[in-house]
Amino acid sequence: MPVSTTLKVNGVTRTIHFDDPRVTLLDLLREHLELTGTKKGCDRGQCGACTVIVDGRRINSCLALAISHDGADVLTIEGVAHGNRLHPVQEAFLAHDGLQCGFCTPGQIMSAIGLLAEGDAGHDPERVREGMSGNLCRCGAYQGITQAVLEAQKALGAASRKEVA
């Protein structure tokens, strides 16, 4: 069943033709667009490694059918930095060692950007942990991740918070 979908990915409109309606948004990004920054962990919506921002909201791309997301605006880890200038969340993850092996990190960062855009966490570590609970880190870098999200929140400031996503 030949199908196609047109997406805006990191600001660029792309039309992708594929032959199987089972292709997930995750596989479309990795296998068809060669954007392999988004990781495939569990592929069942449990680990958050595949988190991307679609139409301004963070979702698990492994549980999204590509064909159903025709017309969507997708932001992946490849699209958050401006040239050599890292996104404040990326800077904060570096500054606070919010990673060890790094496999979950793209998902963590996209999830954190989504969390800050949602504006629910404030400066409360408890709310940050709750808001990040959909992203597992098997190295256990949670302490650094929480600190990084709190610092990024400060860096971005209340005024620009709505613009990051």
Picking from 100, 94, 96, 78, the residue whose alpha carbon sits closest to that of residue 12 is 78
Q: Which is nearer to another protein, 58 or 87 (CB)?
A: 58
- Provide the token pair at 82: 């401006």
51 interacts with another protein by CB under 8 A = yes
d(CA 48, CA 158): 26
Q: Which is nearer to another protein, 22 or 138 (CB)?
A: 22
Q: How many CB atoms sit inside 10 A of residue 90's CB?
A: 21
d(CA 31, CA 25): 10
Q: What is the DSSP letter of 104?
A: T
Q: How far is the CB of 85 from another protein (least distance, A)?
A: 27
Q: Which is nearer to another protein, 101 or 122 (CB)?
A: 122
43 interacts with another protein by CB under 8 A = yes
Among 33, 64, 77, 149, binds another protein (CB under 8 A): 64
Q: Which residue has the tokens 């949670």?
A: 142
- Provide the token pair at 37: 């920054």
63 interacts with another protein by CB under 8 A = yes
Q: How far is the CB of 51 from another protein (least distance, A)?
A: 6
Return the SS3 of 46: coil
d(CA 165, CA 90): 14
Interface stretch with another protein, choices 57-65, 76-84, 93-101, 148-156 (CB under 8 A): 57-65
Q: Which of residues 110-149 bind another protein (CB under 8 A)?
A: 111, 114-115, 118, 120, 124, 126-127, 129-135
**Backbone phi and psi for residue 18, each to the nearest 5 degrees, phi listed first:** -145, 170
Q: Which of residues 71-100 bind another protein (CB under 8 A)?
A: none
| Residues engaged in binding another protein (CB under 8 A) | 1, 3, 20-22, 24, 43-45, 48, 51, 57-60, 63-65, 67-68, 111, 114-115, 118, 120, 124, 126-127, 129-135
